Amino acid sequence: MDIVKRLAAVLLCAAAFVSCEKEEEQKYSPAAISGTWAFSASNTGSGWKEMKISAVYVFNGNGSYIVKQLKSGISAATYYHGKVYEEESSFSESDGKTYSVSCSGNDYRFESLEGKYTLVEQSADEMVFDHPTQSGVISYKLSEVTVFSSSVEPEPDPDPEEPRKPAINGTELQDGNDLVGLISDTSTGKGIPGVVVSDGYDCVATDANGVYQFKSNSLTRIIYFSTPSEYKIRVGGYPSKPETYKSIKPDGSRIRTDFALTPLEGGKENNWTFIGIGDPQCATSSNANRYAGETIPDIKQAVAGKKSVYAMTLGDIVFDSTNMWQIMVSSMASVYNGAWNILFFQTIGNHDHDSLKPDTSDDAADDYNATSTFVSFYGPTDYSFNRGDVHVVSLDDIRVTSQKNSSRSNGKTWSYGHGFTREQLEWLKKDLALVPDKENKMIFICCHIPFRTYTTDFHPDVMRLMTEFKEAHLMIGHTHYTQNYIHTSYKAKGGMPIYEHIHGSACGAWWTGTSSSTVTGEPSGYTIYDIEGAHIKDWHFKGTKRDADYQFRVFDGNDIYYENAYPLNWYTASQKVGTYTFTVKGNTNLKGAFVAELFNDDDTYWTVQLVKKSTGEKIGDFKRLSNGSSTNIAMSAFYYNVKNKSSDSYCSTTASHYWYYKPASGSPSAETDWEVVVTQKLPGSDVQHTFKCSDITRQEDFSKAFYF
């Protein structure tokens, strides 16, 4: 029976009972029936006889109900004082048979039992129905189920006149708590204590019996849990994806949602791999095909044979293109790498907010509505999970404001601000307060828009909470270029500052032709983090379709690109491209210098040297340009002259990845026997990597497929 029919039945039932009177008195009303009930006995005139239960009916006091069938193999329950005493795990969702109830007047029809049943008697804990048959009237008794216990011979109630409160697995349910459930271990059937459960507004931990209970928020639409480190991530749906949630709609009744978790073989994963992916941003099926055909296979190959691999897409999965959702879900279904199904988690971005939802000018309501499509595919926007000694949190840091026109399939996009609401901050505080032993664990907070220097909209509050952990990292997307930012004012318990990893885009410059670079020139790609305990032991940027050690390029700062069109060079501070009104910015320090473009550097943990290739003898040290002091001239020249771009996105200066060294000759192209050696030292670790290059990139290289 579908929801519409059920609601119709309930309304008919309610209307009928309003007019149903006996001796000038309304005696029965389905709205008065609430709680959990089960058939317990039958009477053919020779006395009551215990009967087998086919189903349990849960009424909400408004005439509607949910139904649970006894688990296969359990044919009867143990009764005492009109209550069912059975392990709660003996009950499960229907196996496909229909167990429902409809009513008209006093006449009920229980679909699991054929025919009509007339309610003839009702008390606080029992209802009696008469059922006419060819051989006479049979009476059936429906008893309220108020206690579940594993005891076959339970202790009698202290006061039979005072019924116990409804309970789950031995835990009494408190009045007012309408979100309840049991989280159990599939290997033992027992409840799991300490699992954090949330509706996105409140967080509670399961008790010693594995039971959670709390009151829903008026905006609740999902119930979900934070997977403990010792258990596998639940996977479900088709295509398969992490499924640690269920959609619900609070209606005043008590909603029970159970989850069963499977233990990890060998316990928690002390060594595992995290993959950060920025902005797939697929607007068309062609874009999605490139993501599925280029990025996903590259990830599989890069972590081939590794176990315990988890990926996080850091927002802008689609590009204001609602029709792309199902394709993107399919592309990031569990991806097998030869040893492990890589599970892809998702963070919501600004272009993932559905602009087909109406703009009501109520920003809070618009933001809630605009996230509903993402939620329908991927679940909560603010959530957490645990792997090894790492607590991973994903947060929505987009606040939509108004709509504007877009060339994408939705026809519109949302204008937006960024940051967090007070409600989100309170949710985060509750979630983190339930993480045990924080000072010996690491935290990842995954958002779409960078934190960097922002000091409003609760950014500092979030970072202060992060400092309660041993090590803390921000995982970010949005910018379409790579940048690493060290928050020296916020140090974690282990002494390291919060490290912000801003990931370049998987889509590069929005899937332009056969190009594959971001707006600062590094290849499109992702970053791989190897986790050991509460520490990132190693990480490296991986360019899509590039070798793992391809981490930088070298240019001649004297080169002028496309002299016969829109010429650009590294050393002129202000350059115009054609009739465009934006400026391509060079830097005078680059005249006569070797220019090394590092893809994933920062100003603390990287060094660059020029050495004699034949002997390894150091010639000199490179200096790093400060952020904002130059664009990638070579990349800008290519996109403006070859790809005919007319946007200032292609002359970004925000993140400068450029290091320079001036040889005595002032002519890098005239130098011989040289090599640029780049060293990356991992924060808080003895691990370091060395990368080398002895070739200068020339204009003719730009036209090679996937060079830029």
Is residue 587 within 8 Å of 574, Cβ to Cβ? Answer: no
Instruction: Map residue 330 onto helix, strand or coil.
Output: helix
Half-sphere exposure of residue 515: CA atoms within 13 angstroms, side-chain side: 23
Highest mean pLDDT among 15-19, 432-436, 636-640, 683-687: 432-436
Res 71 pLDDT > 70: no
- Residue 34 pLDDT: 65
Minimum mean pLDDT range among 63-67, 483-487, 630-634? 63-67
Is residue 477 within 8 Å of 348, Cβ to Cβ? Answer: no
When pLDDT is averaged across residues 460-481 and rounded to a whole number, the result is 97
Question: Who wins on pLDDT, 592 or 28?
Answer: 592
- Which residues make beta-bridge pairs with 272? 531
pLDDT > 70: what percent of the chain? 83
- Residue 82 pLDDT: 40
Half-sphere exposure of residue 150: CA atoms within 13 angstroms, side-chain side: 8
Instruction: Map residue 218 onto helix, strand or coil.
Output: coil
Residue 173's pLDDT band (boundaries 50, 70, 90)?
very high
Assign residue 430 a region (left: φ > 0; alpha: ψ between -120 and 50; beta: otherwise). alpha
Question: Who wins on pLDDT, 25 or 404?
Answer: 404
Q: Domain 177-261: which CATH class?
A: mainly beta
Q: What is the pLDDT of residues 502-531, one digit of tens each?
A: 999 999 989 988 778 888 889 999 999 999
- Residue 214 pLDDT: 97
Q: Give the Cα separation of 113 and 98 in Å (integer).
A: 10
Question: What radius of gyration do the chain's Cα atoms show?
Answer: 32
pLDDT > 90: what percent of the chain? 68
When pLDDT is averaged across residues 121-138 and rounded to a whole number, the result is 81
CB neighbour class for 103 (10 Å; exposed up to 12, middle 13-18, buried from 19):
buried
Residue 2's pLDDT band (boundaries 50, 70, 90)?
very low
Instruction: Map residue 585 onto helix, strand or coil.
Output: coil
DSSP, residue by residue, 424-451? HHHHHHHHHHT-TTGGGSEEEEE-SS--
Is residue 294 within 8 Å of 203, Cβ to Cβ? Answer: no
- Residue 567 pLDDT: 94
Record the tokens describing residue 120, joined without a space. 């003839």
Res 629 pLDDT > 80: yes
Closest CA to 677 of 615, 592, 590: 615
Is residue 84 within 8 Å of 78, Cβ to Cβ? Answer: yes
Angle at 349 between CA 344 and CA 350, to 5 degrees: 160
Residue 4's pLDDT band (boundaries 50, 70, 90)?
very low
Res 84 pLDDT > 80: no
Q: What is the pLDDT of residues 563-603, one digit of tens each?
A: 999 999 999 999 999 877 889 999 999 999 999 999 999 99
- Residue 158 pLDDT: 52
Res 486 pLDDT > 90: yes
Q: Give the Cα separation of 521 and 114 in Å (integer).
A: 71
Residue 163's pLDDT band (boundaries 50, 70, 90)?
low
Q: What is the pLDDT of residues 212-258, one digit of tens each?
A: 999 999 999 999 999 999 999 999 877 789 999 999 999 989 999 99
Res 54 pLDDT > 80: no
Res 311 pLDDT > 60: yes
DSSP, residue by residue, 518-555? -TTSSBSEEEEEEEETTEEEEEEEEETTS-TT--EEEE
- Residue 457 pLDDT: 92
pTM of the predicted model as reported, rounded to 2 decimal places:
0.78
Q: Give the Cα separation of 661 and 559 in Å (integer).
A: 15
- Residue 95 pLDDT: 41
Which residue has 């828009």 as its token pair?
Answer: 449
State the DSSP code for 627: T
- Residue 506 pLDDT: 96
Residue 112's pLDDT band (boundaries 50, 70, 90)?
low
Determine if the peptide bond prior to 297 is cis (ω within 30°). no
Q: Give the Cα separation of 328 and 319 in Å (integer).
A: 11
Mean pLDDT estimate for the chain: 86
Residue 159's pLDDT band (boundaries 50, 70, 90)?
low
CATH match for 3-145 among 2.40.128, 3.30.70, 3.30.160, 1.10.357: 2.40.128
When pLDDT is averaged across residues 87-115 and rounded to a whole number, the result is 54
Res 74 pLDDT > 50: no
Q: In the CATH hierarchy, which fold is given to the domain comprising 271-543?
A: Purple Acid Phosphatase; chain A, domain 2 (3.60.21)
Q: Give the Cα separation of 51 and 38 in Å (integer).
A: 10
- Residue 93 pLDDT: 38
Q: What is the pLDDT of residues 257-267, one digit of tens each?
A: 999 999 999 89
